[in-house]
């Protein structure tokens, strides 16, 4: 097998790095004597710069933790290589972004079979942590865990299928006690009863519990020495220096056991580690709480046949069962002292525990563990999981999340829909805006066919809000406080245009005459402002509204003139900015970009103007050339926007950009009946479900809301009205377009069937 490992890697001092190197050697050892060549390569994770470590030759690519582009390049490197499969080590802290979210762009772009080893499975994950693990399981052929309780968590908390999970215990070296142990030979340790803890030092290790137990232990065993082997965790050093180690020394002095405490303050080699473990009389892991799925240090101690005394964290409870070690309660120095004194004073009992641990440890030796990994690798390579690819090919409307207005109802009160939310909870402090209530009106009108009464009941609230915000001269205010106080005199042209769009949509799709009549009254009252519009997005939104209006009142010459006037302004703007390499209406792509060509599609549909239609499609091709990749939508980010001859900003991506693209492609499909536009509409919609640059879903299936944006470090988890309505409108646009296609197909088939029957 040619294998690629993704992990931290020595010389980086990290437990994951050591694990990965040992696993590589373990897998390779199972091929010794094989005539086939087996190539092993590593993609290494760095905390900082590329030259942070002097890596050995097997490291072919380096990912800088917080450099998102490196993850895509790493996937490209793997895909271009002759590797047969990848093994990825996962720990939240080694990958960049919020909760290590950058691991998702990596794994979703790897085209080779993937096995993921989960070193941490949290019992109480955050939303982000849970979705990351769920996505890892979805993309991996198998996920490997090293504790049985992790299987319970993954199936019950993360909803991962049991057949996706493999239980393979943590490996240990081929540990045999040296004939002459240099640790025992050291005068500092000669004739001492040694208690040992090893690993990177940090406060969560609970080492102070052992120090507090030393006075009681030393009272019966004055020659006892508690040896703490290992340097302080690099992250701790960076933030707090050696404060914790100094605290332990000070504590030992206060308790009068300074001479019973020793530190070996360095990262030791595996050979040295075996010497220290073999020299210890009792090995101690005094972790402070149960939340430890896997402990490599504990596995090593058991594998070496140590007499282990531990707090009852998850891994210890499993590994030390059936008399392979002793347990004491968390932070219980008295219980620890009694247990240690019992073992030091009873050689027969201690040796029995050591023998049971040693015999169990034989099946944990790395070559044995490597064989288990080869079994699942062989399965992944010879029987690749095609379910995800097949699902992607057949996924259609029936595979979309169930449409629900539950969260919209949560955001809506008797006044209207509230602007913002903190996570999934309405933030009443921010009040209301006409922008969102106009979108909500459009959404409710679109949802009538799908959700019927559920949607129709919301219409009066949003319509009355718009009526309340219209000024006597026909213009509209935008912002309203929660106490229903106006916060501005006249809203922006964008807000005006979106409101006209919603009123036009109401006039064309009203469920009863009363709503339509009010819509017409407000629409016509606002009409004198149409020719005063100066900004292109205000014009575009208004054009869409007028187009809907003219479908009901096609002989209204005043509105026909308004349509032609605004369309002409759009064409003039396009011709002024357009050149050989820039087919757009301005010298930049900023926000709400898809609305511009969408408005011309609506206009040309009414007028039949081929030149306008050509401009619309030319600009659509230009827009998708800068936003629609082969894999997913990358809408123009709000963090800088895209200027002619500049670079495209990737973040902050907003849901309304995606909504605009979904509506644009749905309309293009409606006009042309070209299936490629329906396919693109659906592809754009999948941005909400995780097919984006972070491969993370913005739609929240728990709340039925949508997160506010895709940011460099992760998802903005606030779920305001704008983003949620953008999701729902996109969903409804795709559903409508898909149904229109099905109806067109059915209608084209029926005559042929009748002819055949005749």
Q: What is the Cα gyration radius of the chain?
A: 33
Is residue 555 packed enough to be buried (19+ CB in 10 Å), middle (13-18) or exposed (0-12)? exposed
Minimal CA–CA distance to 666: which of 677, 658, 676, 674? 677
Please tell me whether residue 197 adopts helix, strand or coil conformation.
strand
Residue ranges covered by each domain of the chain: 3-171+370-390, 182-364, 397-748
What pLDDT is stored for residue 209 in this prediction? 97
Is pTM beyond 0.75? Reply is yes
Does 3.40.50.2000 match the CATH number of domain 3-171+370-390?
A: yes
Domain 397-748 top-level CATH class: mainly alpha
Bridging pattern class, strands 432-433 and 479-480 = antiparallel
pLDDT at 338: 97
Dist. CA 85–CA 3, nearest whole Å: 5
Round to whole Å and give the CA distance between 360 and 169: 11
Is it true that 182-364 and 397-748 share their CATH fold? no
* Cα–chain center distance at 142: 19
Q: Bridge partners of 3?
A: 40, 85
Count of beta carbons in the 10 Å neighbourhood of residue 388: 11
Torsion angle, alpha carbons of 293, 294, 297, 300, to 10 = 130
Residues of the chain by 3-state class (helix, strand, coil), percent to 5: 55, 15, 35
CB atoms within 10 A of CB 258: 14
Predicted local confidence at residue 435, as pLDDT:
96
pLDDT of residue 754: 32
Lookup result for tokens 């206009």: 603
3-state secondary structure (DSSP) of residue 154: helix
d(CA 314, CA 326): 14
* 147 and 293 Cβ atoms separated by less than 8 Å: yes
Q: Can you give the pLDDT at residue 511?
A: 93
What's the pLDDT at 238?
78
Stretches where the chain sits below pLDDT 70 are 32-37, 176-179, 385-398, 741-758
List, for residues 400-440, the tens digit of each pLDDT value.
Answer: 899 999 999 999 999 999 999 999 999 999 999 999 999 99
Phi, psi of 463 (to 5 degrees): -70, -40
Start-to-end CA span in the chain (Å): 62
At the second CATH level, the architecture of 182-364 is 3-Layer(aba) Sandwich (3.40)
Coil, strand or helix: which one is 418?
strand
């Amino acid at each position: 097998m040619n294998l690629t490992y993704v992990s931290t890697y020595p010389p980086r001092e990290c437990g994951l790095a050591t694990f990965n190197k040992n696993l590589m050697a373990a897998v390779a050892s199972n091929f010794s004597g094989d005539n086939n060549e087996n190539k092993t390569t590593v993609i290494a994770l760095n905390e900082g710069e590329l030259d942070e470590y002097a890596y050995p030759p097997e490291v072919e690519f380096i990912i800088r933790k917080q450099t998102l582009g490196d993850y895509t390049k790493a996937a490209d490197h793997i895909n271009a290589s002759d590797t047969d499969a990848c093994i990825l080590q996962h720990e939240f802290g080694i990958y960049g972004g919020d909760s290590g979210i950058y691991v998702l762009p990596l794994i979703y772009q790897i085209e080779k079979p993937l096995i993921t080893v989960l070193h941490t499975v949290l019992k109480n994950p955050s939303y982000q942590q849970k979705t990351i693990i769920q996505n890892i399981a979805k993309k991996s052929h198998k996920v490997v865990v090293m504790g049985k309780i992790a299987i319970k968590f993954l199936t019950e908390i993360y909803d991962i299928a049991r057949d996706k999970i493999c239980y393979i215990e943590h490996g240990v070296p081929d540990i045999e006690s040296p004939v002459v142990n240099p640790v025992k030979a050291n005068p500092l340790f000669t004739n001492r009863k040694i208690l040992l803890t090893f690993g990177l030092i940090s406060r969560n290790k609970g080492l102070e519990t052992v120090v507090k137990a030393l006075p009681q232990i030393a009272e019966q065993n004055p020659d006892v020495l508690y040896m703490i082997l290992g340097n302080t965790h690099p992250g701790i050093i960076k933030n707090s220096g050696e404060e914790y180690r100094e605290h332990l020394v000070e504590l030992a002095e206060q308790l009068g056991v300074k001479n019973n405490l020793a530190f070996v303050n360095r990262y030791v080699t595996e050979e040295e580690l075996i010497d220290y473990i073999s020299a210890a009389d009792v090995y101690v892991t005094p972790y402070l709480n149960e939340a430890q799925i896997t402990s490599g240090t504990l596995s090593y101690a058991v594998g070496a046949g140590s007499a282990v005394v531990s707090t009852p964290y998850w891994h210890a409870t499993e590994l030390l069962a059936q008399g392979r070690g002793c347990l004491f309660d968390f932070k219980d120095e008295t219980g620890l002292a009694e247990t240690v004194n019992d073992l030091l004073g009873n050689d027969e009992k201690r040796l029995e525990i050591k023998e049971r641990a040693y015999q169990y440890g034989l099946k944990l030796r790395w070559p044995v563990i490597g064989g288990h990994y080869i079994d699942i690798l062989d399965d992944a390579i010879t029987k690749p999981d095609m379910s995800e690819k097949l699902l992607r090919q057949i996924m259609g409307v029936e595979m979309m999340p169930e449409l629900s207005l539950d969260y919209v109802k949560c955001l809506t009160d008797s006044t209207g829909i509230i602007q913002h939310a903190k996570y999934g909870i309405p933030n009443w402090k921010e009040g209301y805006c006409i922008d969102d209530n106009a979108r909500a009106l459009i959404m409710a009108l679109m949802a009538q066919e799908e959700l019927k009464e559920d949607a129709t009941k919301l219409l009066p609230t949003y319509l009355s809000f718009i009526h309340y915000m219209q000024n006597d001269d026909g213009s509209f205010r935008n912002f309203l406080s929660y106490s229903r106080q106006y916060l501005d005199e006249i809203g922006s042209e964008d807000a005006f245009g979106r409101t006209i769009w919603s009123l036009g949509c109401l006039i064309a799709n009203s469920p009863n005459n009363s709503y339509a009549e009010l819509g017409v009254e407000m629409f016509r009252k606002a009409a004198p402002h149409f020719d005063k519009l100066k900004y292109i997005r205000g014009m575009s939104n208004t054009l869409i509204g007028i187009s809907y209006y003219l479908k009901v009142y096609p002989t209204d010459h005043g509105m026909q003139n308004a349509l032609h006037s605004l369309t002409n302004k759009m064409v003039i703007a396009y011709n002024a900015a357009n050149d050989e390499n820039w087919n757009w209406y301005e010298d930049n792509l900023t926000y709400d970009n898809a609305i511009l060509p969408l408005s011309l599609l609506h206009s040309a549909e009414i007028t039949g103007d081929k030149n306008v239609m050509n401009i619309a499609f030319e600009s659509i091709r230009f827009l998708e050339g800068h936003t629609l990749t082969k894999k997913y939508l990358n809408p123009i980010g709000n963090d800088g926007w895209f200027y002619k001859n500049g670079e495209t900003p990737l973040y902050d991506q907003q849901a309304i950009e995606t909504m605009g693209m979904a509506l644009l492609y749905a309309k293009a499909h409606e006009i042309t009946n070209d299936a490629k536009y329906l396919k693109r509409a659906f592809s754009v919609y999948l941005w909400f479900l995780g097919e984006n640059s972070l491969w993370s879903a913005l739609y929240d299936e728990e709340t039925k809301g949508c997160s506010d944006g895709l940011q460099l470090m992760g998802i903005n988890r606030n779920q305001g009205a704008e983003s949620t309505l953008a999701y729902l409108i996109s969903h409804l646009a795709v559903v409508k377009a898909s149904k229109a296609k099905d109806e067109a197909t059915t209608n084209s088939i029926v005559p042929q069937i009748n002819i055949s029957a005749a």
